[in-house]
Amino acid sequence: AGISGPTVIATIFALAGASVAVFSLMFGRIELLLGPDNAIRVGMLSLAAGYVVAAMATTLPVYWASAILYGAGIGLVAPGLWTIGMARTPSNMVPHAMGIMTSAIYLGGSFGPLIILPIRSVVGLHGQYFVAAGVLMAAMIVQMTRARSGRAAN
């Protein structure tokens, strides 16, 4: 799709970053409207949609749309997970929990490429995005199933 060169790649990252910022700022309103679990689910759906769009992209504007969808997803999922994590953490453990969550983010950024490279070698560049979307959807289904079974047990 001719997606190369530092300016083009930087533009895609800038759009994703701007989308993260906008949706992170909107998270509070969205959470009040949908509840924390559903706000995270919407974010996961947006993130997965961004991956699917990236997998099918053949032009730069489609990659831009992918970056915006992906950024919206991260902008909802990240503050949602922080909110839930901090709400469930005893106050004396919050600094430790924040350190663990921050470490997880950066370890994911470090080890993510090592995990995706073998997958990419099997399914290709576009296929890796389909795999990522599938993993996200599977995680969301597991979370929803566990939430339902937890409510049924109460």
For residue 59, the 8-state DSSP code is S
Least Cα distance to 60 among 130, 5, 8, 127 occurs for 8
**Average pLDDT for the chain:** 90
Whole-prediction pTM value? 0.81
Task: Give the pLDDT confidence of 48-93 residue by residue, as tens digits.
Answer: 999 999 999 989 999 999 999 999 999 999 999 898 888 889 999 9
Give the C-alpha distances (Å, rounded to integers) separating 154 from 54, 63, 73, 140. 41, 45, 31, 21
Confidence at 154, pLDDT banded by 50, 70, 90: very low
Say how far residue 108 (Cα) sits from the centre of its chain.
12
3-state secondary structure at position 93: helix
Q: Tell me, what amino acid is at 15? A: L
The secondary structure of residue 91, as a DSSP letter, is G
Residue 12's SS3 state is: helix
More confident residue, 61 or 151: 61
CA-closest candidate to residue 43, choices 66, 70, 15, 67: 70
